[in-house]
A and B are shown apart, each in its own frame.
Chain A
């Protein structure tokens, strides 16, 4: 007699790995063989998984077409089975999976688009946070500014690419016919994805601003971040950049040590 544990592991093996050897004998035939019954569950699983994936990555689906997206989705599911009861989480490794598939090909912009779409999904559900009150900064002695660290709003994500990913993303929204020709060599994008009230905004940043913010996100001090940004653009103006980020509500909290 199979224990409940053994039954569940065998059933999962049958559905996910395709082997009914262990579970088959424990499924009643009732006029339809056990493997065909397991197929029903496998189809349901694939359908639900692909639907959830397509909801999170509509631009990828549009770029590769529905059929190929389905094939990619099945491969993806085989390598990265869902690890949570909430289907939202299945999209997390998708950009990495696409990088394995397309990293060294002429489609290497696909993983970057997937990263952009995942950032979009993450911003949709991130917690709210109050924007930074800049008053204490204005009265702070200049020599202390270099040691400051900031928290960045949870609904702000950074994505960069050597390809024009924002243009590709916009050209493949539902209301566009998708016929626009885009030169992949026109130059890349540094993108801040952020929630603005109830919608998500993709904002292209100058390279130095992006480098500053990425350093801050990674926990660097303002001094570290400035050094990195200045290496990108010699004329980088940190006061302007900070005012910009504070105004957008990107920064939420300042730590003085």
Chain B
């Protein structure tokens, strides 16, 4: 089955090499917006790659948590992409990126309030109805918390999944980054997520920055997965079982071999887990 081996994020720098070498990874995940083109080389490459690999589409620009109206044109492009490429999974983020028509093109945190939950549930339902399929929502890294929050992020995302029917894309690195930044136990987070809701897991690297007297971890997706995140991944496998796992690497993109090596590492951990579980 597609997804029993770890996948890697698809970047245009690797298109040619993937087409020519067909590395043995389980599947590929494309950022939806990178392939909104209706013709041209990017799109052609994706067509060729799709012939050999299962694909998931991961959106970064829908601004699903925004109180601005949903961008129908953006949703239309996503719809067309889904129709043309038949991805196994389609995902977006538990975040917002626009207000008053201005886009910040980043994954901004929501306040975890009943109002925001109701809004997210409505928006996710609207997107799922438009696309005619279930989507996954991914937790993001955050560098601040709003004082108006009355729910924990894990309560919020579990309720969102329950009320909208969306799946959860659990980014284990983001949980770790936010746990370190805000001082909570990442296991508390994992334990609060209903096992059946998790449809995909992301693994990535982050950086540790010093801001003033504080250490802040920033989700850069530009390095290897760190040790504590691998440990959390093992715990996630125990709790959520064999879930399609993806190695993300979006900045300072390395040689394809570095990515496939990370994916192989995830495979070895999953294999060891299966051996123990059996």
Contact = CB atoms under 8 A, between A and B. Distances in A.
Interface of A: 1-5, 7-9, 11-12, 15-16, 25-28, 30-34, 36-41, 44-45, 48-49, 51-52, 81-88, 123-128, 154-155, 195, 198-199
20 contacts: A5-B67, A9-B100, A16-B104, A28-B144, A31-B213, A32-B216, A33-B212, A37-B143, A38-B144, A41-B144, A44-B106, A48-B106, A81-B102, A85-B98, A85-B105, A86-B61, A86-B77, A123-B40, A128-B38, A155-B40
Given A36-B211, A40-B143, A85-B62, A4 B36 contact: no
Contacts of A48: 105-106
A3 B42 CA distance: 41
B131 to A, nearest CB: 15
B23 interface: no
B223 to A, nearest CB: 16
A4 B113 contact: yes
B211 A4 contact: no
B40 A126 contact: yes
Contact of A124 (B42, B98, B115, B214): B42
Given A37-B143, A82-B105, A198-B40, 20 more contacts: A4-B67, A4-B115, A8-B66, A11-B99, A12-B102, A26-B146, A30-B183, A36-B211, A44-B218, A45-B104, A45-B106, A49-B105, A82-B104, A84-B61, A85-B61, A85-B74, A126-B38, A126-B39, A128-B38, A195-B39
Interface string B11-33: 00000000000000000000001
Nearest to A12: B99
A187 B232 CA distance: 64
Interface in B70-119: 71, 74, 77, 96-106, 108, 110-111, 113, 115-116, 119
Given A4-B116, A7-B111, A198-B40, A81 B145 contact: no
Interface in B23-56: 33, 36-44
B188 interface: no
A28 B100 CA distance: 24
Interface in B177-200: 182-183
Contacts of B43: 125
Contacts of A51: 251
B143 A8 contact: no
Contacts of A123: 40
Contacts of A9: 99-100
Contacts of B41: 124, 198-199
Contact of B40 (A34, A81, A84, A124): A124
Contacts, number: 149
B63 interface: yes
- Give the residue among B39, B42, B67 with the most A Cβ atoms within 10 A: B39
A27 B147 CA distance: 6
Contact of B218 (A40, A49, A52, A87): A40
A32 B67 contact: no
Interface residues of B, number: 52
Smallest CB-CB A-B distances: 4 pairs: A85-B61, A125-B37, A127-B38, A128-B39
Contacts of B113: 4
Contacts of B96: 8
A52 B99 CA distance: 20
A129 B182 CA distance: 52
A198 B44 contact: yes
Contacts of A30: 144-145, 182-183
A97 B38 CA distance: 27
Contacts of B147: 25-28
B117 to A, nearest CB: 10
A195 B40 contact: yes
Contacts of A40: 143-144, 211, 216, 218
B159 to A, nearest CB: 16
- Give the residue among A4, A25, A27 with the most B Cβ atoms within 10 A: A4
A128 B28 CA distance: 25
B108 A11 contact: yes
A8 B64 CA distance: 13
A195 B106 CA distance: 31
A85 B103 contact: yes
A33 B213 CA distance: 11
Contacts of B66: 8
B211 A32 contact: yes
Given A4-B115, A8-B99, A84 B71 contact: yes
A250 B105 CA distance: 35
Contact of A87 (B77, B98, B105, B108): B105
Nearest to B183: A30
A15 B40 CA distance: 35
Nearest to B120: A4
- Give the residue among A8, A85, A86, A124 with the most B Cβ atoms within 10 A: A85
